[in-house]
Structures are given as structure tokens and as C-alpha cells.
Structure 1
Amino acid sequence: MTETNKREHEHDCLEQVIDGVVELGDNQSKVSVGDIQNKIGQRSFGPFLFVPAIIEISPVGGIPGVPSMLALIVALFAIQMLFGRHHFWMPGFLAHRSVSGQKLEKGLNKIRPVVRWLDKVSNKRLDWATSNSFLRVIAVLCVVLATSVPPLELLPFASTAPFSAICLFGLGITTRDGAAIVLGLIVTVGAFVLAGMGLIG
């Protein structure tokens, strides 16, 4: 394997991204949003969508207020993605928000087998779904999905629906798997229906 191919393989490995965040939780009593951003680095749009989503889907997402905070992060990155930024900016008040390192480490370790499985089944396919032009469509959808989270947080586990779609978008972008993005589109429809029910209720 050449050095270039090795770097590309590492770039596409979601478990390694999660490992980095778990390491933060293992070494620090408190892990801030800025710490996680620095650990991910300026990889691509995908991990900046995938990591907040997988954190929300993990047991950490059950902490009150965390889903809305993660939704704000997703919306912020998605807007910057929409305008073609390559270096993401985050306001200080958000970068300094933190969660327990122990809870983060335990929560992500519980969901690690899922991330490992996603890595195994992901393949580069349906190139049109990972094209730069379609990324803008995904960015808009992620902003809309993120705005649906705060009202859904009033319903147990309901905010997992929009974050599942965001997770699939992040997975598809990171691994260049258009099938994951198409599946994310299907989940998005379900999330919008659930959000509509939540708002009506």
C-alpha cells in the first residue's frame, strides 16, 4: 500500500475518528466541543456531521440539552459546508461547552461495534450522491433536520430520528458511499414526519 493510499484509507476509517474522541474522554474529566473539533482536525465535511450525530445516538444523547447543543453544532457546520468553507469556524460560547469525559468515553465505546460495522459495509458507490453539487443539497437538509431537534427533545428518543439521517449523510460523505446518503434521504423523510407529529402534538 502506497503512502498516499494509506492516508486515504485512514481518512475513510470512521472507527479511527471515534477512537480519537474516546481517547479524549479517557484522558480528560471534561471534554469540550472545541477539544473534539481539534481532535477531528480539518478532515472533510463528513466527520463534522458524523461525530455529533453518533454522540447523540449513543447514551450521551440522553443527557438533557445535549441533543439541542449537537443540533446547533451540525447546523453551524452544515451552513459553512453550504457556502463551501474548508476551515470550519465555531463561536467561543459553543466551543467551550463540555460533557463528562467518562460519560463520553463509555457512551462511544458502547456504540463502537456499530461504527466498526459501518466501516466494513461502506463502499465507494453511487458517485452522483457524493458529488460537490449534491453536497449542497445535503447541507440544506442537515440544517432543516437540526432545526427539528429542539421540539423533538421533549419526546423520549425522538431526536434520534433526525440524527440518524445526519449520521448516514456524514458516513456517506466520509467513506464516499452514495448508498448511505440515499438511505439518509429515506430516513430524512421519516424524521420530517416525526417532527411534524411532534410539533402538532
Structure 2
Amino acid sequence: MSDQPHRALSDVLDRLESTARGESITVQEVVEKLGHKSFASLMLIFSLISTSPASAIPGLTATVAAIIFILVVQMILGRDCVWLPQIISHRRLSTEKLCKGIGWLRKPVLFVERFLKARLTLFLHRPWLFLPLFLILALTLFMPFMEVIPTSGSIASAVIAFFAAGLLTRDGGLVLFSLILLLAVPVAVWHFGFS
């Protein structure tokens, strides 16, 4: 078996880190580096950013939610190329905080990669793929409001990252696992945030 699936997530981090030059970079520069057709890579990297300490950047969770919402809509519609509105694509991210976030993500990503492999690929295709996509779509609508509940936005982003990682490595088992988490997150956030 090729080692490629086992490096897929780290490769995305490497590509993002190589983009982080100067004091800040734009969302558009991230998209150009990862590729306009790399829906899974873009979903993964933005959800991981929102999971990492870089999420301390004001308004980042809302920006990430908007980006993922737009990506998912385009995936559902079957678009081949990523499009983002200028108000989002021109948003700048601090490279210092971004690089700190990437460094923080290295160990957990390396750990998770050891268990990933191509399997249960049935769940990577329509119509099976629609259910998690629609659940993520709904979740992104609530993510900006999750900032009032500590860590809830990061938890939601982590679940989306699991789904994206499953797509990227063709691991249907991980996609299925993320589907279970997607169903559980709203219940958990409500219970711990409002009980």
C-alpha cells in the first residue's frame, strides 16, 4: 500500500505553512496554494485552523463557518472549482498565529494519520455523501453563535475536520465516524452549554 494516504493530512499542513510569509496572508492565497479544486483540503485546513489556538483570532470561527458553508454548498451542487466571495477571499490571517496553530496541530495530525487508509469507499459517493454534507451545512449556521460557549466552536470544527480527513484519505470509516459525531454535536453543545 502506498504511503500517500498516511501523509495526506501532513502534506496539507506543509503546503499551508509554505504559504505563510510576511505578517499576514489572505484566504485567497490559501485557496491558491491548496488548489481551486481541492474542496476536501480546503475544508480540512480551515476547520483545523478553527480547532487550533489560531481560533483566538477575533471573528475567525465565523469566517471559517462561512467558508465551509460555501464549500459544502458547492460540493452538493457538484461544482468542480472553488469560488469564494471577495469579502471572504480578501480577509487576512496573521501568519504568526497561523504558524503557531500549524505547529500545535502537527502531533495530533501525525497520530491520526497512522490509522487512516482507503476503506468503505461507498460512503464517499452520492447519495451517501449528502447526509454528512447537509449536517455540516446546518452546523456551520450555528458555529458563529457557539463562540459564547467556550470550546464548542472548536469541537464543531474538529468534527468537520474528521469528515474532510476522511474524504482526503478515502477513508469511508472516518466519514462514517464523523457522521455519528455530527449527529451528536448539537445534543452535546445544548446539554453542556445550557444545562
TM-score, with normalisation over the residues of structure 1? 0.88
Corresponding residue for residue 46 of structure 2: 52
Flag structure 1 segments of 5+ consecutive residues without an equivalent.
none
Within the candidate set 95, 99, 102, 1:101 is matched to 95
Within the candidate set 14, 17, 24, 1:22 is matched to 17
Aligned 8 A contact 2:51 2:154 in 1: yes
Stretch moving more, 27-36 or 131-140: 131-140
Q: 1:124: Cα distance to partner?
A: 0.8
Within the candidate set 138, 159, 163, 2:132 is matched to 138
Distance 2:73 2:189 in 1: 21
Q: 1:10: Cα distance to partner?
A: 7.5
Aligned 8 A contact 2:6 2:117 in 1: no
Corresponding residue for residue 147 of structure 2: 153
SS of equivalent residue, structure 1 residue 121 = coil
Against the structure 1 CA distance between its residues 148 and 198, is the aligned structure 2 distance closer, same or farther, given a 3 Å change threshold? farther
Against the structure 1 CA distance between its residues 132 and 12, is the aligned structure 2 distance closer, same or farther, given a 3 Å change threshold? farther
Flag structure 2 segments of 5+ consecutive residues without an equivalent.
none
Aligned 8 A contact 1:50 1:166 in 2: yes
Map 1:1-201 to 2 at 5 A: 9=4, 13-25=8-20, 27-197=21-191
Q: 1:199: Cα distance to partner?
A: 8.1
Q: Which runs of 4+ in 1 moved over 6 A?
A: none
Question: What amino acid sits opposite 2:96 in the alignment?
Answer: Q
Distance 1:172 1:17 in 2: 14
Aligned-pair Cα RMSD in Å:
2.3
Number of matched residues?
Answer: 195
Against the structure 1 CA distance between its residues 198 and 97, is the aligned structure 2 distance closer, same or farther, given a 3 Å change threshold? farther
Aligned 8 A contact 1:12 1:174 in 2: no
Q: 1:74: Cα distance to partner?
A: 0.3
For residues 12-55 of structure 1, give each alpha carbon's deviation from its aligned partner in whole angstroms, at most 9, with x where no partner exists.
71111111111222x22111111111111034331121111111
Distance 1:59 1:123 in 2: 28
Distance 2:66 2:100 in 1: 23
Against the structure 1 CA distance between its residues 106 and 93, is the aligned structure 2 distance closer, same or farther, given a 3 Å change threshold? same
